[in-house]
Amino acid sequence: MSIDVLADKRREMVDRQIAGRGITDHAVLDAMRVVPREAFVPEAQAEFAYDDTPLPIEAAQTISQPYIVALMASALELSPDDRVLEVGAGSGYAAAVLSRIAGEVHAIERHAMLAELARRRLRELGYDNAEVRHGDGTMGWPAHAPYDGIAVAAGGPSVPETLRQQLAVGGRLVIPVGTTPRDQQLIRVTRTSERDYREESLGAVRFVPLIGAQGWADDDPPPAVAAAAPSAERSPRLIREAAEPFGDME
């Protein structure tokens, strides 16, 4: 698929899936218009990069539905000079989007292979204000704290206390939280003072489990998503089996 066709699909994705669902943050919309999602999925998935669905990526993980990436970025209410922590870097796509909105992005990924792939993609595409490390995201990245925004791309049983403490006063943390690894509410936590936090729900979502010292144990039920990057011939069938599209969030 040509670069021009993919660019057209990207613009259509933003107009229909993002702005069309009520996202009005111009910085988020502009970022999603310029970041090539096809560069953050396996080659066999590139033709599906702008579909309204998650997609399977390496290490048996997924790249989030574009609308969810935009929703979380918008909920952070970022400014150009802000410092952001992303937990669950995956392929690096959300970090790239956030890097077009904020001043610094520090992303953590627990799968070493994904961390290296994300690091390489961001470097090759010139997103030099975003860095990725391999580690336990539930413990955050203290060296760069406090953060004006924290985005967690996996669902935990609660909001990790370590991440609360690394949030700047006035900052926002967005995380899926639920009593099971597969059923969550997207929660926004705003730190209103050194000791006080305000929480609000942004709606029902479904993310892979947040694994780590302050998340789910590694032997908890695994996510029911696609495992490996499929061949081009198998892509449509595996996407139908793996994708979990979301309806409009009220």
Out of 2, 64, 74, 235, the active site residue is: 64
Count of domains for the chain:
1
Of 2-11, 74-83, 197-206, 211-220, the poorest mean pLDDT is in 211-220
| Model confidence at 159: pLDDT above 80 | yes
Residue 223 inside a domain? The answer is no
| Model confidence at 243: pLDDT above 50 | no
Residue 32 inside a domain? The answer is no
Question: For residue 169, what are the domain limits?
Answer: 53-216
Residue 41 inside a domain? The answer is no
Q: For a pLDDT cut of 90, what percent of the chain falls above it? A: 83
pLDDT tens profile 162-195: 999 999 999 999 999 998 866 799 999 999 999 9
Of residues 139 and 248, the one with the higher pLDDT is 139
> Taking residues 75-84, what's their average pLDDT?
98
pLDDT tens profile 21-66: 999 999 999 999 999 999 999 999 999 999 999 999 999 999 999 9
3-state helix/strand/coil string of the chain = CCHHHHHHHHHHHHHHHHHHHCCCCHHHHHHHHHCCHHHHCCHHHHHHCCCCCCEEEHHHEEECCHHHHHHHHHHHCCCCCCEEEEECCCCCHHHHHHHCCCCEEEEEECCHHHHHHHHHHHHHCCCCCEEEEECCHHHCCHHHCCEEEEEECCEECCCCHHHHHCEEEEEEEEEEEEEECCEEEEEEEEECCCCCEEEEEEEEECCCECECCCCECCCCCCCCCCCCCCCCCCHHHHHHHHCCCCCCCC
Residue 160 inside a domain? The answer is yes
Residue 120 inside a domain? The answer is yes
pLDDT of residue 220: 53
Residue 45 inside a domain? The answer is no
pLDDT of residue 1: 76
| Model confidence at 226: pLDDT above 90 | no
pLDDT of residue 161: 98
64 is catalytic: yes
pTM value surpassing 0.85: yes
- pLDDT band at residue 140, thresholds of 50, 70 and 90? very high
What CATH number corresponds to the domain at position 164? 3.40.50.150
Residue 226 inside a domain? The answer is no
pLDDT of residue 219: 67
Residue 63 inside a domain? The answer is yes
pLDDT of residue 232: 34
